[in-house]
A and B are shown apart, each in its own frame.
Chain A
Amino acid sequence: MITIENLSKRFVLHNQGSAVIPVMEGAALHVAPGQCVGLIGSSGAGKSTLMRMIWGNYLAASGSIRVGHVDVAKAAPREIIALRRDTLGYVSQFLRVVPRVPSVEVVAEPLLQLGVDRDAALDRARTMLHRLNLPERLWSLSPTTFSGGEQQRVNIARGFIHAYPALLLDEPTASLDATNREVVLSLIEEAKARGAAIVGIFHDEAARERVCDRLIDVAAFAPKAAA
């Protein structure tokens, strides 16, 4: 479902003396349906960078990133927009929302984008928020004023509301209590059981042990020349 070959990445900081920062070279990765692969490596090794290249908000310098039938490294914006709507889900570390939009609508949005009937989408959103133990009085409020853990749960509900065939999870259990951490791990296990291919970053080692089938140390993709 997700296949990465010979991927490289560098940043050119034009306003800082055009410094060139090579961060990745020859990266490769394959995630089959139903598998979860964990990215590990020290801080700054490039875990988030790799994940963002799969999502398409970081440009690849070369190589290929196939998600389903789309090569994200070469795809036109509208192909990536369609991929994100139908196929590829992403639970980022931080939630970005239009202020004033109620949480339940934030969560329902991916379904609305897919053309799901509004009432059905909102129902499904309530089920997700309920499962993640977000107090019902918060559902009609914008998540902008929520605590870190509350925002994270809205983010997770939104990321899991559609049965995406491929999922990216950046620290999905960070800032959650034991009960909600357990809910998230179950959601991941259910997604795997229905055949989702997952790439995750988990600092939580026990979580990693439980849901990851394989770990990839991104240090292996460090550029040789830069060393």
Chain B
Amino acid sequence: MNALAQTPTPEVPLLAVRDLHKSYGARIGCTDVSFDLWPGEVMGIVGESGSGKSTLLSCLAGHLTADAGQVIYDGRTTGPRDVLTLSEPERRMLNRTEWAYVHQNPRDGLRMGVSAGGNVGERLMAVGARHYGAIRSTASDWLGRVEIDANRIDDRPSAFSGGMQQRLQIARNLVTGPRLIFMDEPTGGLDVSVQARLLDLLRGLVREMGLSAIIVTHDLAVVRLLADRLMVMKSGRVIEQGLTDQVLDDPQHAYTQLLVSSVLQV
């Protein structure tokens, strides 16, 4: 069921980002980034290689420390707080319970030496689950939801194809019922039909769980189908943002026009 449709639109954004800045020495990673993400929204971030997409995502998720700005997250129990000022244990807790991060390379998001079931179960144990049978059955249920056969539960991810590894990473991330999921090129490196399955899966999960998501991708067709809103980055800055179909169909900035016109049809 769609949580979004049942609760009146809340007045506080889930994530409010203000003037976020990150430099690598003299080089700008991302700068001047501000936006609001509302509950249930999926936001896409596109832009050329080196435009600062991964830097931004890492700063939001706290994998990198931003130099300046605010990232106000409306925590389930805490209410709005600037995550940049949280203590390390608080931030780690948030990452375990309310947030999820899907890496472009599944190897960065999975434990390759642990079985598929273990990869999913581990996240549950990190938030306090202790009953082995319950953990295993939840893990098995989630493998099913991402279309991994239950009889592969004891296999290690190293025995899986790239697409399966990516689906396992998604199961591992979603099993704890996060509210916000960050994804860096979740369909990168997968062939087109595998990509389509993953997209379908993500859309269903977003809708059913009322998830909010921020997705970095270079693929305009992917954002068209998955994202409600779109942000276009260039040289570390956000040069255009709006409704996804508005940005793609009526781009205002020269760079976005170039980006949209250089793909065949999206």
Contacts and interface: CB of A to CB of B under 8 A. Distances in A.
Listed from nearest, the 3 A-B pairs whose CB atoms lie closest are A115-B5, A14-B254, A99-B196
Contacts of A58: 246, 249-250
Interface of B: 1-2, 4-6, 9, 38, 41, 193, 196-197, 199-200, 203, 207, 224-225, 228-229, 242-243, 245-246, 248-250, 252-254, 257-258, 261
Contacts of A52: 249-250
B199 A81 contact: no
A114 B2 contact: yes
Interface of A: 11-15, 52, 56-59, 77-78, 80-82, 85, 96-101, 112-115, 117-118
A181 B245 CA distance: 28
B197 A100 contact: yes
Q: Could you say which of A57, A82, A97, A118 has the most chain B C-beta atoms within 10 Å of its C-beta?
A: A57
Given A98-B225, A112-B2, A15 B207 contact: no
A98 B196 contact: yes
Given A14-B253, A52-B249, A112-B207, A117 B196 contact: no
A77 B197 contact: no
Contact of B225 (A57, A78, A81, A96): A96
A100 B200 contact: yes
A129 B243 CA distance: 30
Contacts of B5: 85, 113-115
A101 B200 contact: yes
Nearest to B221: A96
Given A77-B243, A96-B224, A117 B1 contact: yes
Contact of B41 (A15, A78, A99): A78
Nearest to A97: B225
Contact of A115 (B1, B246, B261): B1
A85 B253 CA distance: 28
B2 A115 contact: yes
A98 B258 CA distance: 25
Nearest to B7: A115
Contacts, number: 78
A13 B260 CA distance: 12
A96 B261 CA distance: 18
A112 B252 CA distance: 32
Given A81-B243, A113-B207, 5 more contacts: A57-B249, A77-B228, A77-B242, A96-B225, A98-B199
A113 B1 CA distance: 9
A98 B4 CA distance: 21
A59 B41 CA distance: 21
Contacts of A77: 228-229, 242-243, 246
Nearest to B253: A14
A59 B250 contact: yes
Given A77-B228, A85-B5, A98-B200, A57 B246 contact: yes
Nearest to A52: B249
Given A13-B257, A96-B224, A113-B207, A80 B2 contact: no
Contacts of A81: 41, 228-229, 243
A39 B54 CA distance: 45
A52 B249 CA distance: 9
B243 A80 contact: yes
Given A15-B254, A96-B224, A98-B196, A57 B261 contact: no
Given A13-B257, A98-B199, A78 B9 contact: yes
A113 B208 CA distance: 9
Nearest to A80: B243
Contacts of B225: 96-98
A12 B249 CA distance: 13
23 contacts: A12-B252, A13-B257, A15-B254, A15-B257, A15-B258, A56-B245, A57-B243, A57-B248, A57-B249, A57-B250, A59-B252, A77-B242, A77-B243, A96-B224, A98-B200, A98-B203, A99-B199, A100-B197, A100-B200, A112-B207, A113-B4, A114-B5, A118-B1
B195 to A, nearest CB: 9
